[in-house]
Amino acid sequence: MRALRTAASGMAAQQLNVEVISNNIANMNTVGFKRQRAEFQDLLYQNVERMGAQSSSQGTVVPTGIQIGAGVKAGSVYRVVEQGTPSQTGNRYDMAIDGRGYFQILMPSGETAFTRAGNFSVNGEGQLVTDDGYAVQPNISIPQDAIDVAVSKTGQVQVLTQGSPEPQVIGQLELATFFNEAGLEAIGDNLLLETAASGPANVGAPGEPGFGNLLQGYTESSNVDAVVEISALIIAQRAYEMNSKVITTADQMLSVGAQVKS
């Protein structure tokens, strides 16, 4: 009975949907996290009677035909890259991106990863690094005698040292943008990798056309909306229940058929 397999595919799809929603809710307080959305596609159709087929010797054709669907499958899990709300932290090394762009991070493997999480620190050598100690690129080294650090909206890093009345420029932060940001591969730790789907990174200074500005002393909050996610969770739960009801109904029909006596 096709209904059993069709409803089973619907239950599997809604299970995936709930898993995506649960990951969004779990990361509500993750800096720079971008929520995801599961998208689905209908499966192949069986043509019992093909539309447009000739139905008589006079040339009449079947107007609609009979097609029976085989259920649903996951099409993609799409990353929604809309802006998160900047949250003030008071840490002078924290930075949020207001607009498009990603920070560039040098991985231990030598690869360049990308992130929207700007909760940075300095290591024992004065380098600007992530929570895991990965260096921000281009490399920014804070002098040991620096008494204040300022990062402009355009990414210029200046320090004020003791005995120097004027701030000194020690580096320039750059951002990377992509044609298809949803095509970046998430590898955990708030890091993303470039893929063939994302296209190559386009690197430039903050504030340039197509690049966002930097906000020092802020981090970008997750763009997860609790109300939207809970509503989606309820809808997914009800859809799962309805598909399970179809399986129950199909089972009852098969049971009736099995009890028919000749």
Segments of the chain with pLDDT less than 70: 261-262
Q: Which of 147, 144, 127 is nearest to 136 (CA)?
A: 127
Beta partners for 74? 40
How much is the pLDDT for 262?
54
Quick one: tokens of 158? 């200046």
Q: What distance separates the 2 farthest-apart alpha carbons in the chain?
A: 104
* Contact between residue 244 and residue 122 where contact means Cβ atoms under 8 Å apart: no
Three-class DSSP category at 50:
coil
Quick one: tokens of 26? 């779990």
